[in-house]
């Protein structure tokens, strides 16, 4: 049995984004229960030279929407990075899930060799579809997702591995 480019991308991104949404909801509830200014958690980072929680979520959503769009050969939607609250971050996650789920397998399957060019930090990068998905988009998505999880866990939000993986 083989796995398709669609199966390896859109459903995986959407599922993990749902888990992220639930984690952000727990963080919001934690801040309210402990009387912590939500801005403190949103600005929290694991180390001074790392991005804060807010940016980690933005980047994770950017990788999910960017990956499916590029694999399908359509323009990547631009989301302004103006979120300042958990509610706004959750709305961004919901928009990303809706976008990711708007693609069918027929739009993404067969993109293994699609030429993908992008610019990251001023650097031009080019890939074929499968190496892009497996070696760039997925690792970056999970890196920023788990970093967001780790920031919240480090700051006392009561979340665990099952919150991250979504397993019951």
What string of DSSP letters covers 4-28?
-HHHHSHHHHHHHHHHHHHHHHHHH
Structure confidence at residue 2 as a pLDDT band (50, 70, 90): confident
The mean pLDDT of 6-17, rounded to a whole number, is 98
Note whether residue 63 is domain-resident: yes
CATH number for 117: 1.20.120.450
Note whether residue 166 is domain-resident: no
Residues of the domain holding 147: 5-158
Structure confidence at residue 107 as a pLDDT band (50, 70, 90): very high
- Token pair belonging to 110: 């067969």
Number of domains in the chain: 1
- Asked whether the beta carbons of 65 and 74 are under 8 A apart, the reply is no
Q: Which uninterrupted H or E stretch holds 120?
A: strand 115-120
Coil, strand or helix at 126: strand
Note whether residue 65 is domain-resident: yes
Note whether residue 120 is domain-resident: yes
Note whether residue 133 is domain-resident: yes
Note whether residue 163 is domain-resident: no
Query: Measured between alpha carbons, how far is 140 from 132 in angstroms, rounded to an integer?
Result: 11
Note whether residue 153 is domain-resident: yes
Structure confidence at residue 167 as a pLDDT band (50, 70, 90): confident
Query: Measured between alpha carbons, how far is 161 from 154 in angstroms, rounded to an integer?
Result: 13
Note whether residue 104 is domain-resident: yes
Q: What is the mean pLDDT of the chain?
A: 96
Coil, strand or helix at 116: strand
Query: Measured between alpha carbons, how far is 36 from 94 in angstroms, rounded to an integer?
Result: 25
């Amino acid at each position: 049995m083989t796995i398709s480019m669609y199966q390896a991308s859109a459903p995986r991104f959407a599922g993990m984004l749902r888990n992220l949404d639930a984690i952000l909801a727990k963080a919001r509830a934690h801040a309210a229960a402990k009387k912590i200014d939500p801005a403190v958690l949103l600005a929290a980072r694991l180390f001074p030279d790392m991005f804060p929680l807010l940016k980690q979520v933005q980047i994770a959503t950017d990788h999910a929407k960017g990956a499916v769009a590029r694999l399908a050969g359509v323009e990547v939607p631009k989301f302004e990075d103006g979120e300042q609250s958990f509610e706004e971050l959750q709305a961004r996650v919901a928009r990303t899930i809706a976008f990711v789920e708007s693609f069918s397998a027929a739009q993404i399957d067969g993109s293994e060799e699609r030429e993908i060019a992008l610019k990251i930090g001023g650097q031009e990068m080019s890939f074929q579809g499968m190496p892009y998905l497996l070696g760039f988009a997925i690792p970056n998505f999970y890196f920023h997702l788990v970093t967001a999880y780790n920031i919240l866990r480090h700051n006392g939000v009561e979340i665990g591995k099952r919150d991250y993986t979504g397993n019951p």
